[in-house]
Amino acid sequence: MTGAETRPENDAVDTGTAHSARIYDYIIGGKDHFPADREAGDAMVREWPALPVHMRANRDFMNRAVRHLAREAGIRQFLDIGSGIPTSPNIHEIAQAAAPGSRVVYVDNDPLVLDLSRNLMSSTPEGRTAYLEADMRDPAGILAAPEFRTALDPDRPVALTVIVHFLLDEHDAVGIVRRLLDPLPSGSHLAMSIGTADFAPEEVGRVAREYAARGMPMRLRTRAEAAEFFTGLDLVDPGIVQVHHWRPDGTGTEVVRDADIAMYGAVARKP
Digit-coded pLDDT (tens) for 157-213: 999 999 999 999 999 999 999 999 999 999 999 999 999 999 999 999 999 999 999
Print burial letters for 193-207: b (CB count within 10 Å at least 16), e (below 16). bbbbbbbbeebbeeb
pLDDT reported for residue 194: 97
Residue-range domain boundaries for the chain: 20-269
Q: Quick check: 87 pLDDT over 50?
A: yes
Q: Which fold has domain 20-269?
A: Rossmann fold (3.40.50)
Q: Quick check: 5 pLDDT over 80?
A: no
What is the Cα–Cα distance from 9 to 150, expressed in whole angstroms? 26
What is the Cα–Cα distance from 261 to 34, expressed in whole angstroms? 26
pTM of the model: 0.91
What is the Cα–Cα distance from 8 to 58, expressed in whole angstroms? 27
Q: Write out the DSSP string of 242-255.
A: EGGGSS--S---S-
Percent of the chain with pLDDT over 70: 92
Average pLDDT of the residues in 216-243: 98
pLDDT reported for residue 7: 46
Which tens digits make up the pLDDT trace of 51-80?
999 999 999 999 999 999 999 999 999 999
pLDDT reported for residue 243: 97
pLDDT reported for residue 1: 36
Percent of the chain with pLDDT over 90: 74
pLDDT reported for residue 2: 40
Question: Which residue, 221, 105, 95, is CA-closest to 163?
Answer: 221
What is the Cα–Cα distance from 113 to 13, expressed in whole angstroms? 9
Mean pLDDT is lowest, of 3-7, 21-25, 234-238, for: 3-7
What is the Cα–Cα distance from 243 to 69, expressed in whole angstroms? 16
In this structure, the strands spanning 77-81 and 263-269 are: unpaired
Which residues does 197 contact at the CB level (< 8 Å), separation at least 6?
Answer: 204, 205, 208, 220, 262
Distances (CA, A) of 182 to 20, 101, 140, 166, 168: 28, 25, 11, 22, 21
Q: Write out the DSSP string of the chain.
A: ---PBP--S-TT--TTS--HHHHHHHHTT-S-B-HHHHHHHHHHHHH-TTHHHHHHHHHHHHHHHHHHHHHTS---EEEEET--S--SSPHHHHHHHH-TT-EEEEEE--HHHHHHHHTS----SS-EEEEEE--TT-HHHHHHSHHHHHHS-TTS--EEEEE-TT--GGG-HHHHHHHHHTTSPTT-EEEEEEE--SSSHHHHHHHHHHHHHTT-------HHHHHGGGTTSEEPTT-SEEGGGSS--S---S---GGG--EEEEEEE--
Q: Quick check: 90 pLDDT over 90?
A: no
Which residues does 57 contact at the CB level (< 8 Å), separation at least 6?
Answer: 243, 244, 252, 256, 260, 261, 263
Average pLDDT of the residues in 101-109: 92
pLDDT reported for residue 172: 97
pLDDT reported for residue 125: 80
Which tens digits make up the pLDDT trace of 26-55?
999 888 889 999 999 999 999 999 999 999
pLDDT reported for residue 31: 86
State the pLDDT confidence band at 11, using cuts at 50, 70 and 90: low
